[in-house]
Amino acid sequence: MSTHHVIIGGGPVATNALETIRSIDGGDSRITLISDEPAHSRMALPYWLSGQVPREHTYTADDAYYARHNVDARIGMRVTGVDPDGKTVSLSDGTTLEFDDLLIATGSSPAGLPVPGIDLPGVQPLWSLEHTENLLAATQSLDNPRVLMIGAGFIGFIMLNAMHKRGWNLSVVEREAHVLPRMLDGQAAGLVEHWLDSKGIAVHCGAEVRGITQNDAGAKVVELADGTKLEADVVIIATGIKPNIAFLNGSGIDTGDGIVVDDRMQTNFESIYAGGDVAAGPSLFGPNAIHAIQTTAVDHGRIAGANMAGEEVHYPGSLLMNILDVCGLQNASFGDWSDPQAEAVTICNPDGPVYRRLLWTGDEISGAIFVGRPNDLGMLTDVGMVKGIMQTRTALGPWKAYLTENPFDIRRAYVASGVAGKLVQSTLLGRPAQPRDYRFDGSSPQTETGSAHQLYVGLKQ
């Protein structure tokens, strides 16, 4: 009898796991996927919110995709419990399903805000397909909607950027002393706050929300602890996320902040795996941790899928990595960027604005922060080169002293230390990666080669 793999979730962990399984077993096993939402990418929701793509372009699977991979997809269904010893899952329709191995990839949900008025119409999180649709509907009849966001973290600011593209009237309230507190230090965040002010976006930091009411005109009124009152048409609650693991209570599966997994993405039960926002997995710098980012979710899915299919594959660890566009200002942080024990080199020019901070542990870069305009970051590829240096754990030796004196010349140290060669030789599963099999409506992406890249494309032909 063929092996039965059960996957709970419809995000990047789930789709990458099932494609990895199929690339190994050629369709010999059974796969059942259970998801309460259609398979989609949360990272694509801002593009729908900003009006750049339709809703359907956020999807990452459809019926034809599941049929092609011989997957029994139960969309709209939820798992309510797991019995690791009996190897069964309980479903929301009252039935149970047996498994040989199980992958838990249930993602995360908004953490919420325990204040009065949180249930008023026009007060909502912005995390799911439904939330995005509700916001678009609520603002459809307004020429210049006033949207106030409570919370100034990474995920919230992705959505803030999308709303800025629509030209909406935006403001932000953050309880911590500065914006992006889990991505940037105070000095870097100060540049972001100044940038937002220049774009007409009011930022209130060190501010605690006391409650939300609705006035006679239907506007929402957010009252702060200091008595300040801020009006808005819509209030977005973006105060963080929490892993969806409550259904595992009493199962015996080890959980802390998230499901504890090893470098095979395996839990304390041999037949049960976990990945993505629910998994506290290996990190390149520091102890096991939840890294709720798309790149880590993709890696987790591929590693889990390979091991579920019978291979022996170990994950080197994820790099805590956040790259964010804040209304035209680029921000990036990598690794242990807030380590107080690390040796730090900082360059700051508020007029640029330009901010670079490299943190050293010995002669390794163990953390980094970048803030600047696109031409100062991405176009110079410095961000990518620092990421490569950190991902390969390259000891820079004498180049440490050079970068301390010349922090804008990353390229020389990157090339001289042979980082590119290490990256070319490294693979997650020991073989070249393949692109995702799903394309919306079966179409292939169409791209045009610009003049700046024509020389390199020509060399490959």
Report d(CA 49, CA 26) in Å as an integer.
38
Domain containing 397 equals 328-425
What angle is formed at CA 101 by the lines to CA 313 and CA 316, rounded to 5 degrees? 20
- The stretch 273-289 carries a mean pLDDT of 95
Dihedral (CA of 429, 433, 434, 439) sign: positive
Distance CA 20, CA 253 (A): 24
Considering the domain architecture, whether residues 65 and 128 belong to the same structural domain is answered as no
Mean pLDDT of 103-110: 97
In a domain, 55, yes or no: yes
In sequence order, the β-bridge partners of residue 330 are: 325, 372
Distance of CA 11 to the CA centre of its chain: 11
Judge if 226 and 247 occupy the same domain.
no
Per-residue pLDDT band at 457 (split at 50, 70, 90): low
Average pLDDT of span 54-70: 96
Q: Any idea what the Cα angle at residue 144 is, between residues 117 and 191, rounded to 5°? A: 80
173 has which bridge partners?
Answer: 150, 204
Summary mean pLDDT of the chain? 94
In a domain, 459, yes or no: no
Least confident of 55-64, 305-314, 445-454: 445-454
Q: How confident is the model at residue 22 (pLDDT cuts 50, 70, 90)?
A: very high
Do 134 and 148 sit in the same domain of this protein?
A: yes
Q: Which helix (H) or strand (E) holds 99?
A: none
In the chain, % of residues over pLDDT 70:
96
Query: Residue 265 domain-assigned?
Result: yes
Contact status, residue 391 vs residue 355, Cβ threshold 8 Å = no
User: With 70 as the cut, is the pLDDT of residue 284 above it?
Assistant: yes
Integer Cα distance of 283 and 280 in angstroms: 9
Count structural domains, the chain: 3
Q: Is residue 454 part of a domain?
A: no
The arithmetic mean of pLDDT across residues 222-236, rounded, is 98
- Looking at residue 458, its pLDDT comes to 58
Predicted local distance difference test score (pLDDT) of residue 432: 85
Q: Which of 239, 261, 292 corresponds to the end of one domain?
A: 239
Q: Which domain-ending residue is among 239, 261, 291?
A: 239
Domain boundary among 239, 257, 289: 239
Residue 43: HSE in the Cβ half-sphere, 13 Å Cα cutoff:
14
pLDDT band at 379 (very low <50, low <70, confident <90, very high): low
Q: Say yes or no: 393 and 344 in one domain.
A: yes
For residue range 166-209, what is the model confidence (pLDDT) as tens digits? 999 999 999 999 999 999 999 999 999 999 999 999 999 999 99
Point out which residues pair with 230 in neighbouring strands: 222
Q: Name beta bridge partners: 323.
A: 332
Lowest mean pLDDT among 67-71, 285-289, 369-373, 443-447: 443-447
C-alpha 84/C-alpha 102 separation (Å) is 9
CA proximity to 61, closest of 27, 13, 101, 128: 13
Instruction: Write phi, then psi, for 173 (nearest 5 degrees).
Output: -120, 130
- 285 and 232 in one domain? no
d(C-alpha 45, C-alpha 26), whole Å: 32
pLDDT of residue 286: 87
Asked whether the predicted pLDDT for residue 369 surpasses 70, the reply is yes
pLDDT at 446 > cutoff 90: no
Separation of alpha carbons 139 and 142, rounded Å: 5
- Asked if the structure places residue 142 within a domain, the reply is yes
Q: Is the per-residue pLDDT at 24 higher than 90?
A: yes
200 shares a domain with 165: yes
CATH assignment of the domain containing 266: 3.50.50.60
Residues 254 and 205 in one domain: no
Q: Which residues pair with 229 in a beta bridge?
A: 223
What is the separation of C-alpha 349 from the centre of its chain, rounded to a whole number of angstroms? Answer: 29
350 confidence band (pLDDT: 50, 70, 90): very high
